[in-house]
Structure 1
Amino acid sequence: AGVAAAPAATHASGMAATPAMMAAEVPPVEATAAAASTPARVAAGVMSNGGEADRMPAATGSASAGQDADATAGSSKAATAVAPPRKRLERVMRTWEAEDASQMGVSEGDFVQVWTDTGTDNGWIHAEGLGAAAARVGWLPLCVLKCLPEGQRWMSVGQQWEAMDESQCSVQIGVVVVVWVTTRTKEGWVHVETEKEGVMKPGWLPVFCLEWNDE
């Protein structure tokens, strides 16, 4: 649909190089090299000792609407703007049963949205369900969430894409993929991993297919 050709695959899996498509430039070597050199996925979970979560924090009130804007020239719009809540997609690696109404129960393999600014010193974070479960909100212990390595993030697919060669990934709306954020190219592609029958398949995907919701 008018997007530039996907970069040649450089993942360690040894996929075949992508042929030139639509007479677009091949992305610079630096961009593709980044995909090849990205560190392997490791189990680097937060609070990975698996112990019981510390006492849940007291319920918090609504966030402050922000300070009043200063009436200074050239800065009034920036001062009055209130940034939206920063959310990040996370995967549950261990089932958690809510112990009271302020907590959120989750099952292994679920995906949840967490408010990144609500993490507490004693290991809790505020979260909400995804999709049909979006109405569920509450506190979760960080130890039940799977932490991805630096440079990788879970992202939801907002637009379907059919792979045009073996170096790309086909995805459906609503699917969650692992995104290697440092491989994003100026031509509009990023390296991802999709789960197929329990196996992670790497490939390139147009950035507009993904929901970049915490930037």
Structure 2
Amino acid sequence: MNIKAHFPAFETGLVSELEEKADLISVPAGEPLLKTGQNIRSTMLITKGLVKVYREDEEGNEFFMYYLNPGDACALSMICATKQETSGIMAKAVMDTEVIKIPLQYMDEWMTRYKTWYYFVLETYRSRFEELLTTIDHIAFRNMDERLVFYLKRHQKSLNSNIIPLAFTEIAQELNSSREVISRLMKKLSDKGMVKLHRSHIEIIDLN
């Protein structure tokens, strides 16, 4: 469990406790890490792979919230774990992923014992809150074409790649739109030379 590689600020005592008391688990691509209504008994730190966090309605429609990359933690699982609430979100491994699972009882204890953990938790809350505000701004104040560009940019950044392996149907589902609308807007982006459309993926050329 190479904790220092992804969380270099953690002090030695905290790293030792993580190695002793936390579990490193492997999650294959496509497998869920959290489900809506699930009891939260631990929080998670990402050490490898990519995790998609999203909401799901009663009809199975998804609303994409954000990605978790190596070095990130799930802020909502931290909040739910601390308050001993059930999950209001879904989290799924996009690619083969490794996660450090920290049992609930150590969350508060480490907040008072380790400054680096305290600041890490606060920074995790702050960054996720700002990211959600940005998402809300785009939903409330932007047209669908602007939302689509913002969505593609987020995937480009999170995947660290210009190749976005998403189908139009999936994009439409996560943007609460229709496949026809997304298909039309993607063709407009393609005509402008901003993307290239392939059978199995979208290739980003220049979204700026």
TM-score, normalised to structure 2's length?
A: 0.27
The structure number with the bigger radius of gyration is: 1
TM-score, normalised to structure 1's length?
A: 0.26
